[in-house]
Amino acid sequence: MSKRRQEIIDRALKLFNEKGFHDVSIKQIADSLSISPGNLTYYFTKKTDLLRAIQHQLIQETSIDIMPSGYITLYHFEEIFKSYSQIQAKYHFYYNNLQYIFKTFPEITKSYRIITRKRFRDAKLLINYYIKTGRLNPENEKINYAYFIRTIWMISVFWKTYSLMTADTFRDSPSQLDILWSNAIPLMTEKGYHEYIEVIKFSVPEVVKS
């Protein structure tokens, strides 16, 4: 990728985050870079092309190895969640506009769904590993890991929306990690819970906020 193309992507992302996707024009992006709109459209004809490039970059950055080799502790589970939280903060305009993007741009929606399905499959492999190594209880009539994975995904993707909608509604203000672990603890074996206690001793208390 050329240096100029990356500069345009970075500046567009910055402006979309600051002003909102709908309130930023190609001309504004060009002006902020001190280039002509014609120069910018040489790389990106319209905002949709920029949106597609930003999503491609986002997806590349979320290609986290959910199943690394070797022994995997529960801390890896937390690391994955923190990484997604940081990405959500970096690309928060995108997550704020998911409904609009999915309804308006079918090509972008298709690629996002493909990577999401892969993440769900990888998450199930990680869950199975934790079951096999005695940290999580096996699935039964009271435990549905497919639902658990979807719950965690919704917490990570829609946290900012939740925060905006519930501001000043509750006395407490749990972090994403608080909610994550509160959903995971009932699924843990005694061995898993002891490992969790060790994990939170060294855990950074706050997830990155946008």
User: In terms of domains, do 43 and 115 share one?
Assistant: no
Per the CB < 8 A criterion, the answer to whether 47 and 172 are in contact is no
User: In terms of domains, do 38 and 89 share one?
Assistant: no
Which pLDDT tens digits describe the chain residue by residue (210 residues)?
Answer: 689 999 999 999 999 999 999 999 999 999 999 999 999 999 999 998 999 999 889 888 877 667 677 788 888 888 888 888 888 889 989 988 888 888 888 888 888 888 888 889 989 999 999 999 999 999 999 999 999 999 988 888 888 778 778 877 777 778 888 888 999 999 999 999 999 998 877 665 554 444
Instruction: For residue 100, give the CATH number of its domain.
Output: 1.10.357.10
Which one-letter DSSP state was computed for residue 44? -
Q: Tell me the two tokens of residue 132.
A: 């096999």
Domain that holds residue 7: 3-52
Burial of 114 (0-12, 13-18, 19+ CB in 10 A): exposed
Position 196 in a domain = yes
pTM, rounded to two decimals: 0.78
Q: Which of 165, 161, 175 is nearest to 92 (CA)?
A: 161
Structural domain tally of the chain?
2
Instruction: For residue 29, give the CATH number of its domain.
Output: 1.10.10.60
Q: Tell me the two tokens of residue 171.
A: 């006395």
Q: Tell me which residue has tokens 């096999």.
A: 132
User: In terms of domains, do 92 and 187 share one?
Assistant: yes
